[in-house]
Structure formats: C-alpha cells, structure tokens
A = this chain, B = another copy of it.
Amino acid sequence: MRAVIMHGPGDVRVEEVPTPEIIEPTDAIIKVDTTCVCGSDLWPYRGVSKLSRPTQMGHEYIGTVEQVGADVQGIKVGDYVVGSFMASDGTCEICAAGYQSRCAHVVGMGSVGTQAEYARIPWADGTLVKVEGDVTPSRRRGLLAASDVLGTGWFAAVAAEAGPGKTVAVVGDGAVGLLGILAASRLGAERIIAMSRHASRQALAQRFGATDIVEERGDAGIARIKEMTGGYGAHSTIEAVGTQEAMQQSIRSTRSGGHVGFVGVSHGVTIDGSALFGATVHLHGGPAPVRRFLPELIDLIMTDQIDPGAVFDLTLPFDEAGEGYRAMDERRAIKTMLEF
C-alpha cells in the first residue's frame, strides 16, 4: 500500500510499504477513507524534533473496518469509524475517568502512521466510534477533524472551563486554536478573543464564534487582553501552540482563579514556579482525550450543528502529500486533507 514516509526535515515521500495486519486480537484494520497533516507533524518536518529513522507519518483518520481481531466485539467489518490519535483500551481507571489519551495501555497512532491506505488500530473496541447516517462531503471533513484537531480544541476549551459568562482568550490560530474557538462558542462563552494576525484565519475565527480579534503578541498582547477585561485578564485561555512564548502569554493573560487549557505539544517550554504561584491560575493540558468527546462531536457533525471541517483549506490527492506539508509549513494552508 501507499504511505507517507518522512525521511528527514522537509523530506516527505509517498512510498510503497507492507499493508498492515492484525497483530493483537484487540486490533482492527481499517481502509483509510481520508487522512490529513497535523500541525504537530511540522515539528519533525522543521527539524525541531528529531526522527531517528525514516518514519511513516500520520495519526488522524476515518475509514471503513476491513478486518477485526478475535477479541473485538463492538466494531464490525464494514463499519464506518472515527478514532482518536491515541488508541485506548477503554476499560482502565484512567479511561473510565475520561483521560483515554493517557490510558494505561495507550498506543499513540503516530507510531502506527495513518497517512496510509490502511491502518492497524489497536484496542479497536476502546478506540473506534461507529458513524451512522449519510456522510456528506462536509460531514466527512468534520469527522476527520474530530479525530484530532476538533477533539483537541474541544478539550482545550473544557480544560480552560470556557462557558457562560466567561471571556476566553485563544493563543494560536492554527486548526486547534480555531476549533478551540468553535468549542468555546458551543460551550456558551460570552466573549471569545482570537489572537491572530492572519486575515484568512481571523475570518475563520469569526465564523467559528470569535467576538474579538487581537493582533498584538507577547507583552502587548497580554496588555490588550487585560485592557479588554477590566484589568483582570481572561477567565479562560486556550494555549494551542506549544512554545514558551505562547505558554507565558497564556498564563499571563489569565486572571487569578482563571483556567489555562494547554494543548500545544510542548517544545522547550519551562514554567517558572514562582510566576505560576503568583499567577494563581489553574493549568491543565496534555494530549487531548479526544475519545471522551467523540460521540458528542460525531452527533454535532452528523446533525450539521457544527462545521469543523472548514479548517481544511487545502485538499490534495494522497500522492501530493509533500506539497500538503510544504503548504502548511509555509502557512499557505491551515490544514491539508489527503484523499485517495
């Protein structure tokens, strides 16, 4: 089958690799319907994180079940399914508490590589959710977004305790930040401040529910948020970048007693204990337990209540994956969908 292989920074190729097979009796094999490139795939693409060998990429997917292991009970061949970027057993105490991304037996789908024609899904019963109904093109894009970026933005908004009466600041205008805005809006936030200086992303932010745009960054951005909130800072801040600057900006933009939900994969971030003590905010984040939210998100998508698939502003044939990475790296595209 064809798969996307990263050979090194900036070097992404579509190559022939062996088609995956059932390994564990809890596995399923899906024929990938569509997949996409994630902002986090850009860390190795840019050489910020290192790959020790050529690596099959991708962790987002929707598809049709081709084969199931002997112990799989809830998922059947032919089911159209969405899963999270983290496979989870669905039965441990961590899963039961809604933190499936930190399941005691978690398998990162990045280690599987779903930018491929077929993918092996560990813990199929705990990981996959069956979709029923008519999958229109926009719902299909939405379901693919649910696999990671929508679920991650949703978790960030929940972690930031976005809700009625709250002012929510969003640091990061990539797909996750934009979908964090959508989530905050659905969760009833009163005011949503998108921090962005890119016109096309600002427009999408507003379409998803942003009430205000702040173009300033760093100290100026923090000052602007304070000014807009009676000097107090936002009640809730979503950090969707993963850099030191974004984390600092998020913590310092939040009022004492407020909540920072951080989902940007941390790169070189260190948090000063004294500053955090002084800030007296709530800080919660990590790899989003997307599986917790999938049933609700699928329902919202399949009833056309949300259109998260709008983050895909570039769709390419699978064989042009390299251009999909380049366009995101150069910020010509927010997010690239790859079709077979």
Contact = CB atoms under 8 A, between A and B. Distances in A.
A283 B262 CA distance: 12
A279 interface: yes
A287 to B, nearest CB: 7
A54 interface: no
Contacts of A262: 277
Interface residues of A, number: 42
A204 interface: no
A265 interface: yes
Number of copies: 2
A78 interface: no
A273 B276 contact: no
A267 B273 CA distance: 7
A101 interface: yes
Contacts of A247: 273
Interface in A224-274: 230-232, 242, 244, 247, 255-257, 262, 265-274
16 contacts: A94-B255, A97-B257, A104-B232, A244-B273, A266-B274, A266-B276, A267-B273, A269-B272, A270-B270, A270-B273, A271-B271, A271-B273, A271-B276, A279-B286, A280-B286, A283-B284
Interface of A: 92-94, 97-99, 101-102, 104, 230-232, 242, 244, 247, 255-257, 262, 265-274, 276-287, 289
Given A101-B280, A277-B287, 8 more contacts: A92-B232, A93-B230, A93-B232, A97-B257, A266-B273, A266-B276, A276-B286, A278-B287
